[in-house]
Amino acid sequence: MSAAAYEYEYFKVSFPAEYVALVVIDRPGKLNAFLEVMWLNLRQIFRQLSHDPDVRCVVLTGAGDRAFTAGLDVQAAAADGAITGAGRGDVARAAAKIRRHILEFQDCITAIEKCEKPVITVLHGISYGLALDICLASDIRLCTSGTRFSIKEVDIGLAADIGTLSRLPHSGLPLSWVKDVCLTAREFNGQEAIAVGLVSGCFENKEVAVEKAVGMARVIGRKSPVAVQGTKEVINHSRGRTVEEGLNYVAVWNAAMLQTKDVKDAMLAGLQKRKPTFEKM
Amino acid sequence: MSAAAYEYEYFKVSFPAEYVALVVIDRPGKLNAFLEVMWLNLRQIFRQLSHDPDVRCVVLTGAGDRAFTAGLDVQAAAADGAITGAGRGDVARAAAKIRRHILEFQDCITAIEKCEKPVITVLHGISYGLALDICLASDIRLCTSGTRFSIKEVDIGLAADIGTLSRLPHSGLPLSWVKDVCLTAREFNGQEAIAVGLVSGCFENKEVAVEKAVGMARVIGRKSPVAVQGTKEVINHSRGRTVEEGLNYVAVWNAAMLQTKDVKDAMLAGLQKRKPTFEKM
Amino acid sequence: MSAAAYEYEYFKVSFPAEYVALVVIDRPGKLNAFLEVMWLNLRQIFRQLSHDPDVRCVVLTGAGDRAFTAGLDVQAAAADGAITGAGRGDVARAAAKIRRHILEFQDCITAIEKCEKPVITVLHGISYGLALDICLASDIRLCTSGTRFSIKEVDIGLAADIGTLSRLPHSGLPLSWVKDVCLTAREFNGQEAIAVGLVSGCFENKEVAVEKAVGMARVIGRKSPVAVQGTKEVINHSRGRTVEEGLNYVAVWNAAMLQTKDVKDAMLAGLQKRKPTFEKM
Amino acid sequence: MSAAAYEYEYFKVSFPAEYVALVVIDRPGKLNAFLEVMWLNLRQIFRQLSHDPDVRCVVLTGAGDRAFTAGLDVQAAAADGAITGAGRGDVARAAAKIRRHILEFQDCITAIEKCEKPVITVLHGISYGLALDICLASDIRLCTSGTRFSIKEVDIGLAADIGTLSRLPHSGLPLSWVKDVCLTAREFNGQEAIAVGLVSGCFENKEVAVEKAVGMARVIGRKSPVAVQGTKEVINHSRGRTVEEGLNYVAVWNAAMLQTKDVKDAMLAGLQKRKPTFEKM
Amino acid sequence: MSAAAYEYEYFKVSFPAEYVALVVIDRPGKLNAFLEVMWLNLRQIFRQLSHDPDVRCVVLTGAGDRAFTAGLDVQAAAADGAITGAGRGDVARAAAKIRRHILEFQDCITAIEKCEKPVITVLHGISYGLALDICLASDIRLCTSGTRFSIKEVDIGLAADIGTLSRLPHSGLPLSWVKDVCLTAREFNGQEAIAVGLVSGCFENKEVAVEKAVGMARVIGRKSPVAVQGTKEVINHSRGRTVEEGLNYVAVWNAAMLQTKDVKDAMLAGLQKRKPTFEKM
Amino acid sequence: MSAAAYEYEYFKVSFPAEYVALVVIDRPGKLNAFLEVMWLNLRQIFRQLSHDPDVRCVVLTGAGDRAFTAGLDVQAAAADGAITGAGRGDVARAAAKIRRHILEFQDCITAIEKCEKPVITVLHGISYGLALDICLASDIRLCTSGTRFSIKEVDIGLAADIGTLSRLPHSGLPLSWVKDVCLTAREFNGQEAIAVGLVSGCFENKEVAVEKAVGMARVIGRKSPVAVQGTKEVINHSRGRTVEEGLNYVAVWNAAMLQTKDVKDAMLAGLQKRKPTFEKM
């Protein structure tokens, strides 16, 4: 597939290296704030990428210098009552509609996690609210030192419900710090993010960070896609399950996957001291 | 409610700021070591605070300069056979009684976790055994650099059973370090505690630490209580469950909670560039 | 039991201190790479140690200067088709055999985790692939600054299936970093390992690290074995389960264990200001 | 303890046989419909019975000929707004209060399940709504052929939330039938109840049924209380957990419990062909 | 919405009573065997019904006298390699595609379970393979005495993977019988189905069974939709989870749902001895 | 493999039909009561059968007319202190040893469940205690009308810990009945067993029952072993897990298994209206 297959108003998709896709949130005039159409499109893009044999790793970033994303476009959401279920009948009927809406919204962001290929998110500038939901659904997080992170939801009166609170306790971060930033909505920067482990790389500016991400994606893109996709799936599956469950799952998973030609190709290449190449997947 | 509603022999409860309660363990002559009546009262206090509409955030600390708490008052416990079930019939009957006793004791400490309002624990000086059970049941942990932490239980011949071992693996701390301090019972100080992430703030002395905690509590107290209480509940619920469970839970939770007036109030205040105020809860 | 009970071709077992066993992977000419017989023997050794009343803590390391282990001896494994199920009938039948093989292999490494006594692993030099599976199944990890860690599996075309991917998300390490090293197979050294928390001690060379490990094992060996073994079991059990499950489990566990004489012995020794000694277990 | 220790306005507690307690819901003029004080007292009674060494099995029934219970006294509940949170502030604040109320109510009924001694419920006449919550929290269910069962909740506009819907899927009843009676609120009688397995005994009238229940309780009361209480706990624990979890749990449980003198006593009595007697518990 | 909104080649959707939808699988010339387009459409239909405020209960049946459905149209599936992944590259790549295909297929059938409104399936004649997956995803199962059930999958060489094996152990049926019919693929009829509890009604012919189903749907359609939809969700959620999880979930669920006007309407109607009517949902 | 590979003192293994193994517990002089060596051998036998390509289904029964098995040989067990940990040091050390012993014993019986091939148990005569553990670990249960079942454990003072209490709540039997027979230890016969669903066939005598079982095993033996073994594994895995877990697991499982030649063979045979034959597994 080519970039032409990925035409969206608020996203730019390009292919900066073999097997690497670069997705850019593209509404810089509004600090890349999300309209409903945007998260619906985000899902569509990541579903496409998930099955696109020309893609093995994805980098996700935001357009412009000022923000990865300022989060949900709250004014737009308020206007159509999407958050609070305004004008939706009695409390129970409103609740049913709000729940449907949250589940749909979650499903769109979870598309990043379900994407069979690893996703590297590069954050910079303002990275509020939904920015966290998005980066926590991805696999590897990088940022710039000037990134202004904030789990902003308590400031607009709600508990973050698109994934931040469900994924943070499984992200290997100190829980006392997690509660601090979730309950106070205070800003923190890239240095703090790397110190606690929220990101695994922090760079001086966006250009360097994206370059680094694309480089990492290129490395991953040269590995066996069978190995890479299995690794993503098995790590994700192990969260919130016992070690026993995890072990049994990977045994069933690899019962098929080890029959791949990639193992033989990799071993042969190893013996011949050359880089292996792998079939599309 | 006023402080008068919270009169206990071994605890002092005050309200240093709007919506902020300060609970002090008050048995400094015995290094704040816990008698059975104390953990029973602790439960009662946190159940009251949980439903008290004048409280939105709680700070917990220990009286005196020497200790947050030296842990269980082992001599007193030994005297009444509470730990070892002495004089309780045959092994099975003693086991039944010990189990009841542990479950009751756990329930008292878990009252901190179940308190609907966030709890910030400030540790200083000797912080042994039960000190860890208590601070791990709370949401945010601060300490002084001179805090002397120790998971002391193996030194008196038992595996910590009031919560330390059940909560540590969900606290985002390196497991190798966790096993080290649990198996050796060695002391570690505030610097080490913040380096591994057990606490999220370490200050030069208790006064500064408590002041910092009250300040943080004041910040949290000004947020929407609907948002704050939901955030605490959803993060806690996500521990040890899959991401899917977490997402579904928060969707059901917010189906009611997003119908709060707080969201509209917060948004309106945002537009008007003023601080919102929220109804009691 | 004496060392004579632990005679294996590729392992040396000795007892450098009271209640401390030292297990050395001993195939230095091949960088301690694992043959099938080795992981079968590893299981046997740890099952013996688990029930050996003269052992209370185990240190595990690799012979020679160059490697803890280079991982699976891939050439040997390839020769007998163990990984890829070569020559095993149709895909489903091969899958059934591969699954059996993985489950058996996992079970051997899990013997370290199931060993009732704590295991301290000391890594040095090349520590690839299986090295991670092994050290993650142990309780405490120490290394040298020159250790060359790599989760090598994606380089040979497979998702790590002997425990690395199932245990890493429960090891309290930042998940973004975990995905980075699992997906890129890049090397990292002891400094990085201690910075993220994979190990809890990093020393200048193997001698110092082993000495440190034996010292720590000696400390653990002097504690009540009832307390130590319960602590290991309860922490491990709490991973991937809810806090409620953990609390209930430890209450049932300690219903028996608190009836030990060790508690009384420890308390009495405490009063008499001397070190307690404990019966074998 | 004697009956005097169990004095309640709406419950009669007697001891018709050694080790057997009989609890009667006693508000026959109102078809034994439940006021809030009643379910609070129910909890208190079952907590007392749980720890009362003179009790080994409990029979629970309703006073009068017409009803086991007609369920919640809806008029009384409506009057104080307990169900719908009337007059409780905005939706979120009302939701918080309703949730607290449900959890408290559930906890009272769950006291039957948590009672360490088996509970045999005898249903007769009108057995609506809460009648099901109660009997599903007990261990053994008997009824009369004239019992008029109905899971009545949908008829008053709500999903049953005190346990019926959480326990029915774990009660070994055909799920298609479960959904039928839960969604239609239709009445069914004793014959249908025994045919599907909701009850394990159906008798011509209440006297016979209670006599049968007391007889069964007497049989259970003569068994080892260690064995009986362990059996109840382990079966209940196994619901909704994997077989592996169940096996591990019972192994830890019995590690203490098999050290009871009861096993020896039972075996000795077996050899001597006499009935064993067991110590109180 | 009207029937016009539900136009599909292989399905007929009508509305035989207020709030009742009747969905008919309509490929009688091929024994209602499923093509891929059919299960995709089935998902679309049930998603529409789930949100259609004019629908409160759904009846699902098959056109013609001979079959509910003969299952998957295996010849068609074989032709495009959907089952076996023929021509899809190496084993691992084929496995990835087969897995995607199964997950998609499952998702379509699970749409019946996820439909917020109860679904009553009426089976008759040949009801093989997929017939079981479908009816197990629905809420209430009725059949005719002449229904010819068979869990046919082992006869074509595969373990049923669209839901039968995952849902049967949660359907309250004797597991020994479940294994018998799953492992032998033997036929069984309506009498056997009702005896074990797979169906909760068995009638002499399809007309009577459908009439009965529509009658039951009409009853359900007159209940509060808040109550009915909550009941379906909570029962389904409780399967495979502990009782504690179930209780907590329904408490959160009802925190919103009890604020419905339906409760007041139902109570008022009760007092006035008339049938309540409820708002659309 | 031939019968010669299966020589054990207390078991007879024969092959009455192609792909069918018949295992007979053979200590009729002692009512087939189990010594420790017997359950150790049972594990060995079922592990062999699990991997034996000439076996596709197993029938398990007891020698002689009087008993399937009277359960554990309690006198022998009492003599060596295996149950009660007599003479094993203090309570905690005894508990550790008892737990090891139970886990080992459980593992032996679980070997029946883990056997990749279905196991049909035929019970007759006295079927006490361990008889239930064994038959519940198997897949299909048949009996004679004269079978005398009893969950005997409470009569010797203990809660059944080898699987009965962990598997009964997942066996689709009415829980009220389960508690009745577990708590009273009362005998029940084949008619009652089939009425509640514990067995799925009840025959006039052992010969008929075994003949029936072998016939059923022969039918299963002619199916695709890939399909049969997958069906057993997936049903067992679904117990105690959510439907979502079950669906995901079978999708991964079948990703490999559907690539089998058996599907094509079965389809081709279907088209040619002949019985397919399948390769060994």
CATH for D3-222, among 3.40.50.300, 3.20.20.70, 3.90.1150.10, 3.90.226.10? 3.90.226.10
Residue of C118, C239, C256 with shortest CB distance to B169: C239
E251 touches chain B (CB under 8 A): no
Q: How confident is the model at residue C7 (pLDDT cuts 50, 70, 90)?
A: very high
Query: What's the confidence (pLDDT) of residue F267?
Result: 87
pLDDT tens sequence for chain D (281 residues): 567 889 999 999 999 999 999 999 999 999 999 999 999 999 999 999 999 999 999 999 999 999 999 999 988 887 777 677 666 679 999 999 999 999 999 999 999 999 999 999 999 999 999 999 999 999 999 999 999 999 999 999 999 999 999 999 999 999 999 999 999 999 999 999 999 999 999 999 999 999 999 999 999 999 999 999 999 999 999 999 999 999 999 999 999 999 999 999 998 898 899 999 999 99
Chain E and chain F share a number of CB contacts under 8 A equal to 186
Mutate which of F123, F132, F226, F259 to disrupt the E interface (most E C-beta within 10 Å)? F259
Q: How far apart are CA C280 and CA A56, in angstroms?
A: 55
Q: How confident is the model at residue B266 (pLDDT cuts 50, 70, 90)?
A: very high
Question: Contact at 8 Å (CB) between F196 and F177?
Answer: yes
Contact C257 F226 (CB under 8 A): no
Q: How far apart are CA D202 and CA D127, in angstroms?
A: 14
Chain A residues touching residue B227 (CB < 8 angstroms): 153-154, 156-159
D248 touches chain B (CB under 8 A): no
Q: How far apart are CA C234 and CA B250, in angstroms?
A: 29
**Touching subunits for chain E (3+ Cβ pairs under 8 A):** A, B, D, F
Chain A closest-CA separation from residue B234 CA (Å): 6
Question: Contact at 8 Å (CB) between D171 and D132?
Answer: no
Contact B258 A182 (CB under 8 A): no
Tokens found for residue A203: 């760079």
Q: How far apart are CA A237 and CA A254, in angstroms?
A: 14
Per-residue 3-state assignment (H helix, E strand, C coil) for A215-275: HHHHHHHHCCHHHHHHHHHHHHHHCCCCHHHHHHHHHHHHHHHCCCHHHHHHHHHHHCCCC
D184 touches chain E (CB under 8 A): yes
**Touching subunits for chain A (3+ Cβ pairs under 8 A):** B, C, E, F
Chain C residues touching residue A239 (CB < 8 angstroms): 169, 175
Pure H helices in E139-271: 164-167, 175-184, 190-196, 206-222, 225-238, 243-257, 261-271
Chain F residues touching residue A249 (CB < 8 angstroms): 249, 252
The secondary structure of A97-152 as a DSSP string is HHHHHHHHHHHHHHHHHHSSS-EEEEE-BEEETHHHHHHHHSSEEEEETT-EEE-G
Pure H helices in B123-273: 130-137, 164-167, 175-184, 190-196, 206-222, 225-238, 243-257, 261-271
Chain E residues touching residue B246 (CB < 8 angstroms): none
Chain B residues touching residue C60 (CB < 8 angstroms): none
Each residue's pLDDT tens digit, C112-139: 999 999 999 999 999 999 999 999 999 9
Query: What's the confidence (pLDDT) of residue E267?
Result: 87
Mutate which of E161, E239, E245 to disrupt the F interface (most F C-beta within 10 Å)? E161
Contact A256 E90 (CB under 8 A): no
Residue of C161, C170, C173 with shortest CB distance to A250: C161
Chain D residues touching residue C252 (CB < 8 angstroms): 249, 252-253, 256
Residue listed under structure tokens 């009207």 = E2
Query: What's the confidence (pLDDT) of residue A209?
Result: 98
- What is the chain A residue with the closest CA to C177? A200
Residue of C171, C255, C263 with shortest CB distance to B156: C263
Mutate which of B113, B252, B259 to disrupt the E interface (most E C-beta within 10 Å)? B252
The torsion defined by the Cα of D131, D132, D134 and D137, in degrees rounded to 10, comes to 170
Residue of E93, E96, E279 with shortest CB distance to A93: E279
Which residues, in sequence order, are CB contacts of F35 under 8 Å at separation 6+? Answer: F10, F27, F73, F76
B259 touches chain D (CB under 8 A): yes
Each residue's pLDDT tens digit, E252-281: 999 999 999 999 999 889 889 999 999 999
Query: What is the helix (H) or strand (E) element at residue A88, kind and residue range?
Result: none
Residues 189-208 of B with CB under 8 A from C: 196
F29 touches chain C (CB under 8 A): no
Tokens found for residue A214: 């694309």
Least confident piece of the model among B78-87, C10-19, D146-155 = B78-87
**Touching subunits for chain F (3+ Cβ pairs under 8 A):** A, C, D, E
What angle is formed at CA F101 by the lines to CA F98 and CA F104, rounded to 5 degrees? 150
Phi, psi (5° rounding) for residue A4?
-55, -25
- Does the pLDDT value for residue F151 go beyond 60? yes
Q: How confident is the model at residue C78 (pLDDT cuts 50, 70, 90)?
A: confident
Contact E256 D91 (CB under 8 A): yes
Pure H helices in F115-242: 130-137, 164-167, 175-184, 190-196, 206-222, 225-238
Each residue's pLDDT tens digit, A190-210: 999 999 999 999 999 999 999
Q: How far apart are CA A153 and CA C229, in angstroms?
A: 43
CATH for F225-271, among 3.40.50.300, 3.40.50.1370, 1.10.12.10, 1.10.1060.10? 1.10.12.10
- What is the chain E residue with the closest CA to D104? E251
Residue listed under structure tokens 């001690």 = C201
Burial E234-243 (b: 16+ CB within 10 A, else e): bbbbbbbbbb
B82 touches chain C (CB under 8 A): no
pTM beyond cutoff 0.90: yes
Indicate if the alpha-carbon torsion angle B204, B208, B212, B213 is positive or negative. positive
- Average pLDDT over chain C, rounded to an integer: 95
Contact E238 D166 (CB under 8 A): yes
Residue of E99, E179, E236 with shortest CB distance to F140: E179
Residue of B92, B93, B226 with shortest CB distance to D92: B226
Phi, psi (5° rounding) for residue F187?
-75, 145
Each residue's pLDDT tens digit, F65-111: 999 999 999 888 877 776 676 666 799 999 999 999 999 999 999 99
Chain C residues touching residue F259 (CB < 8 angstroms): 90-92
What angle is formed at CA D119 by the lines to CA D113 and CA D121, rounded to 5 degrees? 110
- What is the chain C residue with the closest CA to D259? C256
Q: How far apart are CA A194 and CA A175, in angstroms?
A: 15
- What is the chain F residue with the closest CA to A258? F256
Tokens found for residue B42: 């602790």
Chain D closest-CA separation from residue C252 CA (Å): 6
Walk across the sheet containing D57-62 and list its strands. D11-17, D20-25, D57-62, D119-123, D140-144, D201-203
Chain E closest-CA separation from residue B223 CA (Å): 22
Tokens found for residue C213: 């490990």
Tokens found for residue F254: 């079948």
Contact A165 B265 (CB under 8 A): no
Contact E183 F140 (CB under 8 A): yes
Query: What is the helix (H) or strand (E) element at residue F141, kind and residue range?
Result: strand F140-144
Q: Is C32 left (phi over 0), alpha (psi -120 to 50) or beta?
A: left
Q: Which regions of chain A are under pLDDT 50?
A: none
Question: Contact at 8 Å (CB) between F197 and F142?
Answer: no
Pure H helices in D185-272: 190-196, 206-222, 225-238, 243-257, 261-271
What angle is formed at CA B135 by the lines to CA B134 and CA B138, rounded to 5 degrees? 95
Q: How far apart are CA A88 and CA A95, in angstroms?
A: 9
Of the candidates C247, C50, F60, E233, the residue with the CA atom closest to the CA atom of residue B113: C247
Q: Beta-carbon neighbour count of residue B18 at 10 Å?
A: 11
Mean pLDDT of C34-48: 98
The interface predicted TM-score (ipTM) is 0.97
SS3 content of chain B, % helix, strand, coil (to 5): 50, 15, 30
Domain boundaries, chain D: 3-222, 225-271
D133 touches chain F (CB under 8 A): no
Question: Contact at 8 Å (CB) between A83 and B257?
Answer: no
Q: Beta-carbon neighbour count of residue B227 at 10 Å?
A: 29
Chain A closest-CA separation from residue B247 CA (Å): 6
Residues 140-179 of D with CB under 8 A from F: 140-141, 170-173
A253 touches chain F (CB under 8 A): yes
B249 touches chain E (CB under 8 A): yes
What angle is formed at CA D35 by the lines to CA D33 and CA D37, rounded to 5 degrees? 135
